[in-house]
Structure 1
Amino acid sequence: MLFLDPPYQPRIIIENEDFAVVDKPPFFLSHPTKKKRGFSLLEWLYNQNNQIPWKLIHRLDRETSGLLLVAKNNASAAYFGRQMEKRLIRKGYFAITWGELKADYLKIEAPLGYLGVSSENEIVIRQGIQSNGSQAITEIYPLGYGGGHSLLWVKPQTGKLHQIRVHLSLIKHPIVGDKLYGPNPSYFLDFSKQGWTKEMEKSLLLPRHALHAAFLSFFWKGNKQTVFLPLSDDLEQFLKLTKGFQKIHNPRFFEIS
Protein backbone atom coordinates (compact mmCIF):
# COMPACT_ATOMS: atom_id res chain seq x y z
CA MET A 1 0.00 0.00 0.00
CA LEU A 2 1.39 3.39 -0.95
CA PHE A 3 0.06 6.94 -1.00
CA LEU A 4 1.99 8.82 -3.64
CA ASP A 5 3.78 12.14 -3.20
CA PRO A 6 4.44 14.75 -5.92
CA PRO A 7 7.63 13.88 -7.87
CA TYR A 8 8.78 17.51 -7.74
CA GLN A 9 7.82 20.82 -6.17
CA PRO A 10 5.75 23.37 -8.11
CA ARG A 11 7.78 25.62 -10.39
CA ILE A 12 7.03 29.21 -11.34
CA ILE A 13 7.47 29.45 -15.12
CA ILE A 14 6.59 33.14 -15.63
CA GLU A 15 5.97 35.84 -13.04
CA ASN A 16 5.43 39.58 -12.89
CA GLU A 17 3.81 41.91 -10.35
CA ASP A 18 0.28 40.94 -11.47
CA PHE A 19 0.26 37.22 -12.28
CA ALA A 20 2.26 34.00 -12.41
CA VAL A 21 2.15 30.84 -14.51
CA VAL A 22 3.03 27.80 -12.42
CA ASP A 23 3.89 24.19 -13.27
CA LYS A 24 1.76 22.07 -10.92
CA PRO A 25 3.14 18.57 -10.30
CA PRO A 26 0.92 15.49 -10.25
CA PHE A 27 -0.46 14.41 -6.84
CA PHE A 28 -0.76 18.07 -5.89
CA LEU A 29 -4.13 19.70 -5.28
CA SER A 30 -4.89 22.97 -7.03
CA HIS A 31 -6.92 24.28 -4.10
CA PRO A 32 -7.05 23.13 -0.46
CA THR A 33 -9.92 20.88 0.55
CA LYS A 34 -10.84 19.01 3.71
CA LYS A 35 -11.81 15.83 1.86
CA LYS A 36 -8.60 15.10 -0.06
CA ARG A 37 -5.18 14.32 1.31
CA GLY A 38 -2.15 16.30 0.23
CA PHE A 39 -0.76 19.79 -0.07
CA SER A 40 -2.22 22.33 -2.52
CA LEU A 41 -0.71 24.73 -5.01
CA LEU A 42 -2.49 27.67 -3.43
CA GLU A 43 -0.98 26.83 -0.02
CA TRP A 44 2.44 26.45 -1.63
CA LEU A 45 2.12 29.92 -3.17
CA TYR A 46 1.09 31.45 0.16
CA ASN A 47 4.18 29.88 1.69
CA GLN A 48 6.30 31.57 -0.97
CA ASN A 49 4.79 34.96 -0.17
CA ASN A 50 1.83 35.29 2.18
CA GLN A 51 1.53 39.02 1.47
CA ILE A 52 0.08 38.28 -1.97
CA PRO A 53 -3.66 37.51 -2.31
CA TRP A 54 -3.04 34.62 -4.74
CA LYS A 55 -6.11 33.58 -6.76
CA LEU A 56 -6.32 30.61 -9.12
CA ILE A 57 -7.84 31.53 -12.49
CA HIS A 58 -8.56 27.89 -13.30
CA ARG A 59 -7.79 24.48 -11.81
CA LEU A 60 -6.33 21.10 -12.69
CA ASP A 61 -7.31 17.73 -11.30
CA ARG A 62 -5.04 16.46 -8.53
CA GLU A 63 -3.23 13.98 -10.78
CA THR A 64 -2.96 16.27 -13.81
CA SER A 65 0.39 18.02 -14.19
CA GLY A 66 1.15 21.28 -15.94
CA LEU A 67 0.34 24.94 -16.35
CA LEU A 68 -1.89 27.02 -14.10
CA LEU A 69 -2.52 30.77 -14.33
CA VAL A 70 -2.57 32.55 -10.97
CA ALA A 71 -3.50 36.19 -10.28
CA LYS A 72 -1.56 38.20 -7.69
CA ASN A 73 -4.14 40.92 -7.03
CA ASN A 74 -7.88 41.52 -7.32
CA ALA A 75 -7.59 43.62 -10.48
CA SER A 76 -5.72 40.96 -12.45
CA ALA A 77 -8.04 38.26 -11.10
CA ALA A 78 -11.05 40.18 -12.42
CA TYR A 79 -9.31 40.81 -15.75
CA PHE A 80 -8.54 37.12 -16.27
CA GLY A 81 -11.99 36.18 -15.00
CA ARG A 82 -13.55 38.15 -17.83
CA GLN A 83 -11.28 36.37 -20.31
CA MET A 84 -12.40 33.00 -18.91
CA GLU A 85 -16.05 33.97 -19.36
CA LYS A 86 -15.39 34.94 -22.99
CA ARG A 87 -13.27 31.79 -23.59
CA LEU A 88 -10.25 33.88 -24.48
CA ILE A 89 -7.91 31.79 -22.32
CA ARG A 90 -6.93 28.79 -24.44
CA LYS A 91 -5.43 25.52 -23.20
CA GLY A 92 -3.74 22.50 -24.71
CA TYR A 93 -2.96 19.12 -23.16
CA PHE A 94 -0.89 16.04 -23.87
CA ALA A 95 -2.75 12.80 -23.13
CA ILE A 96 -1.55 9.20 -23.34
CA THR A 97 -4.43 6.83 -23.97
CA TRP A 98 -5.25 3.19 -24.47
CA GLY A 99 -5.71 2.18 -28.09
CA GLU A 100 -4.06 3.43 -31.26
CA LEU A 101 -5.95 6.39 -32.66
CA LYS A 102 -4.89 6.68 -36.31
CA ALA A 103 -6.43 9.90 -37.52
CA ASP A 104 -5.27 13.45 -38.20
CA TYR A 105 -8.07 15.12 -36.30
CA LEU A 106 -11.15 14.29 -34.26
CA LYS A 107 -13.79 16.54 -32.76
CA ILE A 108 -16.02 15.37 -29.93
CA GLU A 109 -19.24 17.19 -29.07
CA ALA A 110 -21.09 15.51 -26.21
CA PRO A 111 -22.88 17.25 -23.30
CA LEU A 112 -21.64 16.47 -19.79
CA GLY A 113 -23.23 16.32 -16.37
CA TYR A 114 -23.09 14.53 -13.03
CA LEU A 115 -24.21 10.91 -13.24
CA GLY A 116 -25.66 10.95 -9.74
CA VAL A 117 -25.16 8.33 -7.06
CA SER A 118 -26.90 5.04 -7.79
CA SER A 119 -26.38 1.30 -7.63
CA GLU A 120 -24.36 1.64 -10.84
CA ASN A 121 -22.32 4.65 -9.66
CA GLU A 122 -21.01 5.12 -6.13
CA ILE A 123 -18.89 8.18 -6.90
CA VAL A 124 -20.50 11.57 -6.37
CA ILE A 125 -18.19 13.57 -8.63
CA ARG A 126 -18.28 11.19 -11.58
CA GLN A 127 -19.32 12.84 -14.85
CA GLY A 128 -20.91 11.31 -17.90
CA ILE A 129 -22.70 12.02 -21.15
CA GLN A 130 -26.08 13.55 -20.34
CA SER A 131 -28.59 14.69 -22.96
CA ASN A 132 -29.55 17.64 -20.74
CA GLY A 133 -25.97 18.34 -19.68
CA SER A 134 -23.70 21.30 -20.42
CA GLN A 135 -22.18 21.76 -23.86
CA ALA A 136 -18.70 20.24 -24.09
CA ILE A 137 -16.42 20.26 -27.15
CA THR A 138 -12.97 18.67 -27.40
CA GLU A 139 -10.57 18.66 -30.37
CA ILE A 140 -8.00 15.86 -30.68
CA TYR A 141 -4.80 15.67 -32.75
CA PRO A 142 -2.87 12.35 -32.61
CA LEU A 143 0.91 12.79 -32.27
CA GLY A 144 1.94 9.16 -32.10
CA TYR A 145 0.79 5.59 -31.56
CA GLY A 146 2.03 2.03 -31.17
CA GLY A 147 2.23 -0.68 -28.56
CA GLY A 148 -1.47 -0.32 -27.85
CA HIS A 149 -1.28 3.36 -26.89
CA SER A 150 -1.60 6.83 -28.40
CA LEU A 151 -0.11 10.24 -27.65
CA LEU A 152 -2.73 12.91 -28.26
CA TRP A 153 -2.75 16.68 -28.36
CA VAL A 154 -6.07 17.79 -26.88
CA LYS A 155 -7.68 21.23 -27.15
CA PRO A 156 -10.83 21.65 -25.06
CA GLN A 157 -13.09 24.32 -26.50
CA THR A 158 -15.12 24.34 -23.30
CA GLY A 159 -13.97 23.84 -19.71
CA LYS A 160 -16.26 21.32 -18.05
CA LEU A 161 -15.28 19.15 -15.10
CA HIS A 162 -13.32 16.06 -16.24
CA GLN A 163 -14.19 16.94 -19.85
CA ILE A 164 -11.10 15.51 -21.55
CA ARG A 165 -11.15 12.33 -19.49
CA VAL A 166 -14.84 11.64 -20.13
CA HIS A 167 -14.68 12.43 -23.85
CA LEU A 168 -11.66 10.18 -24.42
CA SER A 169 -13.34 7.39 -22.51
CA LEU A 170 -16.44 7.90 -24.67
CA ILE A 171 -14.50 7.11 -27.87
CA LYS A 172 -12.93 4.02 -26.24
CA HIS A 173 -9.53 5.68 -25.77
CA PRO A 174 -9.46 6.27 -22.00
CA ILE A 175 -6.41 7.91 -20.48
CA VAL A 176 -3.77 5.53 -19.15
CA GLY A 177 -3.80 5.50 -15.35
CA ASP A 178 -7.30 7.01 -15.02
CA LYS A 179 -8.86 5.52 -11.89
CA LEU A 180 -12.28 7.07 -12.49
CA TYR A 181 -12.88 6.81 -16.25
CA GLY A 182 -10.57 3.91 -17.06
CA PRO A 183 -11.15 0.14 -16.87
CA ASN A 184 -12.60 0.08 -13.35
CA PRO A 185 -14.12 3.16 -11.63
CA SER A 186 -13.95 1.41 -8.26
CA TYR A 187 -10.18 2.04 -8.33
CA PHE A 188 -10.99 5.68 -7.54
CA LEU A 189 -12.50 4.75 -4.17
CA ASP A 190 -9.99 1.97 -3.53
CA PHE A 191 -7.08 4.34 -4.06
CA SER A 192 -8.47 6.90 -1.60
CA LYS A 193 -8.71 4.16 1.05
CA GLN A 194 -5.77 1.88 0.29
CA GLY A 195 -3.34 3.85 -1.82
CA TRP A 196 -1.52 2.46 -4.86
CA THR A 197 -1.58 -1.35 -5.02
CA LYS A 198 -0.05 -4.07 -7.21
CA GLU A 199 -3.47 -4.82 -8.67
CA MET A 200 -3.88 -1.21 -9.76
CA GLU A 201 -0.37 -1.12 -11.21
CA LYS A 202 -1.11 -4.19 -13.33
CA SER A 203 -4.38 -2.76 -14.66
CA LEU A 204 -3.68 0.99 -14.87
CA LEU A 205 0.08 0.91 -15.67
CA LEU A 206 0.65 4.40 -14.28
CA PRO A 207 -0.04 5.63 -10.73
CA ARG A 208 -1.64 8.82 -12.09
CA HIS A 209 -3.69 9.60 -15.15
CA ALA A 210 -1.50 10.55 -18.10
CA LEU A 211 -2.76 14.08 -18.69
CA HIS A 212 -0.42 17.08 -18.85
CA ALA A 213 -1.47 20.73 -19.30
CA ALA A 214 1.20 21.88 -21.74
CA PHE A 215 -0.11 25.02 -23.41
CA LEU A 216 -1.71 28.21 -22.16
CA SER A 217 -2.53 31.44 -23.99
CA PHE A 218 -4.14 34.57 -22.62
CA PHE A 219 -4.12 38.32 -23.07
CA TRP A 220 -2.30 40.81 -20.89
CA LYS A 221 -2.42 44.55 -21.51
CA GLY A 222 -3.57 43.99 -25.07
CA ASN A 223 -0.86 41.48 -25.95
CA LYS A 224 -1.29 37.75 -26.39
CA GLN A 225 0.87 35.66 -24.05
CA THR A 226 1.66 32.02 -24.79
CA VAL A 227 3.37 29.44 -22.59
CA PHE A 228 4.39 25.91 -23.57
CA LEU A 229 5.60 23.19 -21.20
CA PRO A 230 7.03 19.92 -22.63
CA LEU A 231 5.61 16.55 -21.69
CA SER A 232 6.44 15.69 -18.08
CA ASP A 233 9.34 13.31 -17.40
CA ASP A 234 7.21 10.43 -16.09
CA LEU A 235 4.96 10.43 -19.15
CA GLU A 236 7.89 10.80 -21.55
CA GLN A 237 9.53 7.82 -19.87
CA PHE A 238 6.34 5.77 -20.25
CA LEU A 239 6.37 6.38 -24.00
CA LYS A 240 10.05 5.44 -24.26
CA LEU A 241 9.31 2.12 -22.59
CA THR A 242 6.29 1.38 -24.80
CA LYS A 243 7.49 -1.06 -27.46
CA GLY A 244 6.44 -0.12 -30.97
CA PHE A 245 5.43 3.42 -30.09
CA GLN A 246 6.38 6.05 -32.67
CA LYS A 247 5.70 9.76 -32.75
CA ILE A 248 4.21 11.10 -35.97
CA HIS A 249 4.20 14.47 -37.66
CA ASN A 250 0.81 16.12 -37.40
CA PRO A 251 0.95 19.56 -39.03
CA ARG A 252 -2.18 20.67 -37.19
CA PHE A 253 -0.32 20.35 -33.90
CA PHE A 254 1.72 23.42 -34.78
CA GLU A 255 -1.47 25.49 -34.93
CA ILE A 256 -1.73 25.37 -31.14
CA SER A 257 -1.87 29.12 -30.69
Structure 2
Amino acid sequence: MQQLTLEPPYPPRVVFENEDFLVIDKPPFLLSHPTRRNDRPSVLGWLGKERDGASFFLANRLDRETSGLVLVGKDAASASALGRLMEKRLIEKEYLAIVWGKLTCELLEIDAPLGYLGISEENPVAIRQGIRPEGAQAVTVVRPLRSGGEFSLLRAYPKTGRLHQIRVHLSIIRHPIVGDKIYGPDPNFFLRFAAQGWGPDLAEHLCLPRHALHASLLRFRWQGKELEAVAPLPPDLSGFLQQRGIVPPLA
Protein backbone atom coordinates (compact mmCIF):
# COMPACT_ATOMS: atom_id res chain seq x y z
CA MET A 1 0.00 0.00 0.00
CA GLN A 2 1.32 3.43 -0.92
CA GLN A 3 1.54 5.68 2.13
CA LEU A 4 1.75 9.45 2.19
CA THR A 5 3.63 11.40 4.82
CA LEU A 6 1.25 13.96 6.23
CA GLU A 7 3.24 17.11 6.89
CA PRO A 8 2.19 20.79 7.14
CA PRO A 9 1.55 21.90 3.53
CA TYR A 10 2.54 25.52 4.21
CA PRO A 11 4.29 27.39 7.04
CA PRO A 12 2.47 29.10 9.91
CA ARG A 13 1.97 32.84 9.66
CA VAL A 14 1.44 35.66 12.11
CA VAL A 15 -2.02 37.18 11.59
CA PHE A 16 -1.88 39.72 14.42
CA GLU A 17 0.67 40.83 17.00
CA ASN A 18 0.85 43.32 19.83
CA GLU A 19 3.06 43.68 22.90
CA ASP A 20 1.19 40.92 24.77
CA PHE A 21 0.36 38.14 22.31
CA LEU A 22 0.31 36.86 18.75
CA VAL A 23 -2.39 35.21 16.67
CA ILE A 24 -0.97 32.44 14.48
CA ASP A 25 -2.65 30.84 11.47
CA LYS A 26 -1.67 27.20 11.99
CA PRO A 27 -1.53 24.83 9.01
CA PRO A 28 -2.95 21.31 9.28
CA PHE A 29 -0.64 18.53 10.53
CA LEU A 30 1.26 20.95 12.76
CA LEU A 31 1.11 20.41 16.52
CA SER A 32 0.19 23.37 18.70
CA HIS A 33 2.60 22.32 21.45
CA PRO A 34 5.75 20.15 21.32
CA THR A 35 5.31 16.54 22.40
CA ARG A 36 7.35 15.04 25.23
CA ARG A 37 9.68 13.53 22.64
CA ASN A 38 9.95 16.98 21.04
CA ASP A 39 10.70 15.44 17.65
CA ARG A 40 7.78 16.84 15.69
CA PRO A 41 7.28 20.45 14.58
CA SER A 42 4.90 22.66 16.53
CA VAL A 43 3.63 26.23 16.65
CA LEU A 44 5.71 26.98 19.74
CA GLY A 45 8.78 25.36 18.23
CA TRP A 46 8.39 27.37 15.03
CA LEU A 47 7.95 30.62 16.96
CA GLY A 48 11.02 29.92 19.09
CA LYS A 49 13.13 29.50 15.96
CA GLU A 50 11.63 32.57 14.29
CA ARG A 51 12.18 34.74 17.37
CA ASP A 52 15.74 33.73 18.32
CA GLY A 53 14.81 31.28 21.05
CA ALA A 54 12.24 33.45 22.83
CA SER A 55 9.67 31.65 24.98
CA PHE A 56 5.95 31.73 24.19
CA PHE A 57 2.86 30.36 25.93
CA LEU A 58 -0.24 28.88 24.31
CA ALA A 59 -3.58 30.37 25.32
CA ASN A 60 -5.54 27.82 23.27
CA ARG A 61 -4.79 24.75 21.17
CA LEU A 62 -6.10 23.15 18.03
CA ASP A 63 -6.03 19.48 17.11
CA ARG A 64 -3.10 18.54 14.89
CA GLU A 65 -5.34 18.19 11.82
CA THR A 66 -7.38 21.34 12.48
CA SER A 67 -6.07 24.46 10.77
CA GLY A 68 -6.58 28.06 11.77
CA LEU A 69 -6.13 30.58 14.54
CA VAL A 70 -4.14 29.96 17.70
CA LEU A 71 -3.56 32.53 20.47
CA VAL A 72 -0.01 32.66 21.84
CA GLY A 73 1.02 34.79 24.80
CA LYS A 74 4.42 36.47 24.87
CA ASP A 75 4.57 35.77 28.58
CA ALA A 76 2.76 33.49 31.02
CA ALA A 77 0.65 36.33 32.45
CA SER A 78 -0.78 37.29 29.05
CA ALA A 79 -1.52 33.66 28.18
CA SER A 80 -3.30 33.22 31.53
CA ALA A 81 -5.35 36.38 30.98
CA LEU A 82 -6.41 35.15 27.54
CA GLY A 83 -7.24 31.78 29.03
CA ARG A 84 -9.51 33.43 31.60
CA LEU A 85 -11.32 35.27 28.80
CA MET A 86 -11.97 31.91 27.16
CA GLU A 87 -13.19 30.37 30.40
CA LYS A 88 -15.64 33.26 30.76
CA ARG A 89 -16.72 32.80 27.11
CA LEU A 90 -15.60 36.31 26.24
CA ILE A 91 -13.67 35.25 23.15
CA GLU A 92 -15.94 34.73 20.16
CA LYS A 93 -14.84 31.88 17.89
CA GLU A 94 -15.95 30.85 14.42
CA TYR A 95 -15.00 27.74 12.49
CA LEU A 96 -15.55 26.67 8.90
CA ALA A 97 -16.33 23.00 8.30
CA ILE A 98 -17.03 20.84 5.26
CA VAL A 99 -19.51 18.12 6.11
CA TRP A 100 -21.27 15.23 4.44
CA GLY A 101 -24.86 15.90 3.35
CA LYS A 102 -27.01 18.99 3.05
CA LEU A 103 -28.39 20.85 6.04
CA THR A 104 -31.90 22.14 5.40
CA CYS A 105 -32.07 24.59 8.32
CA GLU A 106 -31.01 28.24 8.41
CA LEU A 107 -29.63 28.02 11.93
CA LEU A 108 -29.26 25.10 14.30
CA GLU A 109 -28.25 25.00 17.96
CA ILE A 110 -26.87 21.68 19.18
CA ASP A 111 -27.02 21.36 22.97
CA ALA A 112 -25.73 17.94 23.99
CA PRO A 113 -23.48 17.11 26.98
CA LEU A 114 -20.25 15.35 26.07
CA GLY A 115 -17.86 12.93 27.74
CA TYR A 116 -15.63 9.95 27.08
CA LEU A 117 -17.47 6.92 25.72
CA GLY A 118 -15.01 4.36 27.00
CA ILE A 119 -13.63 1.38 25.12
CA SER A 120 -16.24 -1.15 24.01
CA GLU A 121 -17.20 -3.30 21.02
CA GLU A 122 -18.98 -0.26 19.57
CA ASN A 123 -16.15 2.16 20.36
CA PRO A 124 -12.57 1.06 19.66
CA VAL A 125 -10.98 4.51 20.20
CA ALA A 126 -10.13 5.52 23.77
CA ILE A 127 -10.20 9.29 23.20
CA ARG A 128 -13.57 9.27 21.41
CA GLN A 129 -16.26 11.53 22.84
CA GLY A 130 -20.03 11.16 22.70
CA ILE A 131 -23.28 12.18 24.32
CA ARG A 132 -23.20 11.45 28.04
CA PRO A 133 -26.12 12.54 30.24
CA GLU A 134 -23.64 13.14 33.08
CA GLY A 135 -21.15 14.83 30.74
CA ALA A 136 -20.06 18.45 30.48
CA GLN A 137 -22.41 20.96 28.91
CA ALA A 138 -21.59 21.53 25.25
CA VAL A 139 -23.35 23.95 22.89
CA THR A 140 -22.58 24.56 19.22
CA VAL A 141 -24.49 26.82 16.82
CA VAL A 142 -24.34 25.88 13.14
CA ARG A 143 -25.17 28.02 10.10
CA PRO A 144 -25.11 26.37 6.63
CA LEU A 145 -23.41 28.47 3.95
CA ARG A 146 -23.26 26.54 0.67
CA SER A 147 -23.80 23.00 -0.59
CA GLY A 148 -23.19 20.96 -3.69
CA GLY A 149 -23.59 17.26 -4.39
CA GLU A 150 -22.84 15.26 -1.26
CA PHE A 151 -21.20 18.07 0.70
CA SER A 152 -21.98 21.28 2.56
CA LEU A 153 -19.90 24.14 3.89
CA LEU A 154 -21.01 25.63 7.19
CA ARG A 155 -19.97 27.96 9.96
CA ALA A 156 -19.83 26.60 13.49
CA TYR A 157 -19.91 28.79 16.59
CA PRO A 158 -18.86 26.84 19.70
CA LYS A 159 -20.38 28.38 22.80
CA THR A 160 -18.40 26.03 25.04
CA GLY A 161 -14.96 24.52 24.59
CA ARG A 162 -15.15 20.75 25.03
CA LEU A 163 -12.77 18.22 23.53
CA HIS A 164 -13.67 17.54 19.88
CA GLN A 165 -16.93 19.43 20.45
CA ILE A 166 -17.71 20.57 16.90
CA ARG A 167 -16.68 17.24 15.41
CA VAL A 168 -18.87 15.25 17.82
CA HIS A 169 -21.90 17.53 17.51
CA LEU A 170 -21.84 17.44 13.71
CA SER A 171 -21.48 13.67 13.80
CA ILE A 172 -24.47 13.15 16.08
CA ILE A 173 -26.73 15.14 13.73
CA ARG A 174 -25.50 12.83 10.92
CA HIS A 175 -23.43 15.45 9.13
CA PRO A 176 -19.89 14.38 10.09
CA ILE A 177 -16.92 16.43 8.97
CA VAL A 178 -15.27 15.20 5.79
CA GLY A 179 -12.00 13.41 6.51
CA ASP A 180 -12.74 12.79 10.19
CA LYS A 181 -11.12 9.49 11.14
CA ILE A 182 -12.75 9.25 14.58
CA TYR A 183 -16.25 10.69 14.10
CA GLY A 184 -16.72 9.95 10.40
CA PRO A 185 -18.02 6.76 8.80
CA ASP A 186 -16.07 4.30 10.98
CA PRO A 187 -13.84 4.98 14.03
CA ASN A 188 -11.76 1.95 13.06
CA PHE A 189 -10.33 4.15 10.30
CA PHE A 190 -8.47 6.01 13.05
CA LEU A 191 -6.84 2.79 14.26
CA ARG A 192 -5.93 1.80 10.71
CA PHE A 193 -4.38 5.21 10.14
CA ALA A 194 -2.41 4.98 13.40
CA ALA A 195 -1.10 1.53 12.45
CA GLN A 196 -0.55 1.89 8.70
CA GLY A 197 -0.54 5.60 7.85
CA TRP A 198 -2.51 7.29 5.10
CA GLY A 199 -3.13 5.35 1.92
CA PRO A 200 -5.53 4.91 -1.03
CA ASP A 201 -7.99 2.77 0.93
CA LEU A 202 -8.55 5.45 3.55
CA ALA A 203 -8.61 8.14 0.86
CA GLU A 204 -11.47 6.33 -0.87
CA HIS A 205 -13.65 6.48 2.24
CA LEU A 206 -12.58 9.75 3.84
CA CYS A 207 -11.89 11.94 0.75
CA LEU A 208 -9.39 14.13 2.63
CA PRO A 209 -6.29 13.16 4.64
CA ARG A 210 -7.40 15.43 7.48
CA HIS A 211 -10.70 16.51 8.96
CA ALA A 212 -12.06 19.57 7.13
CA LEU A 213 -12.25 21.93 10.12
CA HIS A 214 -10.71 25.41 10.17
CA ALA A 215 -10.66 27.98 13.00
CA SER A 216 -11.46 31.06 10.93
CA LEU A 217 -12.16 33.92 13.36
CA LEU A 218 -11.38 35.18 16.86
CA ARG A 219 -13.01 38.32 18.26
CA PHE A 220 -12.58 39.79 21.77
CA ARG A 221 -11.78 42.90 23.76
CA TRP A 222 -8.24 43.46 25.01
CA GLN A 223 -7.29 46.45 27.13
CA GLY A 224 -10.41 48.31 26.06
CA LYS A 225 -10.06 47.64 22.32
CA GLU A 226 -12.12 45.35 20.13
CA LEU A 227 -9.80 42.95 18.29
CA GLU A 228 -10.60 40.61 15.43
CA ALA A 229 -8.37 38.10 13.63
CA VAL A 230 -9.46 36.24 10.50
CA ALA A 231 -7.88 33.34 8.60
CA PRO A 232 -9.31 32.41 5.19
CA LEU A 233 -10.01 28.81 4.26
CA PRO A 234 -6.67 27.14 3.41
CA PRO A 235 -5.85 25.78 -0.07
CA ASP A 236 -6.61 22.12 0.62
CA LEU A 237 -10.16 22.88 1.78
CA SER A 238 -10.93 25.62 -0.75
CA GLY A 239 -9.60 23.34 -3.50
CA PHE A 240 -11.83 20.50 -2.31
CA LEU A 241 -14.86 22.79 -2.55
CA GLN A 242 -13.93 24.16 -5.97
CA GLN A 243 -13.53 20.66 -7.39
CA ARG A 244 -17.13 20.04 -6.40
CA GLY A 245 -18.54 23.28 -7.74
CA ILE A 246 -18.88 24.97 -4.35
CA VAL A 247 -17.51 28.51 -4.24
CA PRO A 248 -15.41 28.92 -1.07
CA PRO A 249 -15.88 32.05 1.07
CA LEU A 250 -13.25 34.77 1.14
CA ALA A 251 -12.95 34.40 4.90
TM-score bucket of the superposed structures, by smaller chain: over 0.9
Structure 1 contact 102–145 (Cα < 8 Å) conserved? no
Counterpart of 1:113 in structure 2 is: 115
Which segments of 5 or more consecutive residues in structure 2 lack a partner in the other structure?
Answer: none
Query: Is residue 100 of structure 1 aligned with residue 80 of structure 2?
Result: no
Question: What's the CA shift string for 1:56-112, capped at 9, x where partnerless?
Answer: 111111100000111001221222122122111111000000001122100000000
Aligned-pair CA distance for 1:120: 2.4
2:176 is matched with: 174
Paired residue for 1:62?
Answer: 64
CA contact (8 A) 2:98 2:178 kept: yes
- Code of the aligned partner of 2:103: L
After TM superposition, the structure 1 = structure 2 runs for residues 4-153 of structure 1, keeping only pairs within 5 Å, are: 4-34=6-36, 38-49=40-51, 51-153=53-155
- Preserved CA contact (<8 Å) 2:31 2:64: yes
- Structure 1 residue 123 displacement after superposition: 1.5
d(CA) in 2 for partners of 1:35, 1:106: 41
Asked if the contact 1:128/1:166 (under 8 Å) is kept, the reply is yes
| Structure 1 residue 171, shift from structure 2 partner | 0.4
Letter in 1 for 2:231: L
- Please, what is the CA RMSD of the aligned residues? 1.9
- Report the identity percentage: 54
Q: Deviations over 1:98-157 (max 9, x none)?
A: 001122100000000011122322212111111100000000010001211100010000
SS of 1:164's partner is helix
Unaligned runs of 5+ in 1: 249-253
Residue 214 (structure 1) aligns with: 216
State the TM-score, normalized to the length of structure 1.
0.91
In structure 2, how many angstroms separate the alpha carbons of the residues matched to 1:47 and 1:125?
Answer: 32
Q: 1:35 to 1:74 in 2, by over 3 A?
A: closer
For 1:144-185, what per-residue CA distance to the aligned partner results, in whole angstroms no more than 9, with x for missing partners? 012111000100000000000000000000000000100011
- Residue 96 of structure 1: SS of its match in structure 2? strand
Confirm or deny: 8 A CA contact 2:241 2:248 kept in the other structure. no
Report how far residue 247 of structure 1 moved: 7.2
Code of the aligned partner of 2:203: E
Tell me the residue number matched to 1:251: none
Equivalent residue letter for 1:52:
A
Task: Determine if contact 2:238/2:248 at 8 Å carries over to the other structure.
Answer: no
CA contact (8 A) 1:99 1:148 kept: yes
Aligned equivalents of 2:36 and 2:78: distance in 1? Answer: 28
> Number of aligned pairs?
248
* Residue 50 of structure 1, CA deviation: 5.2
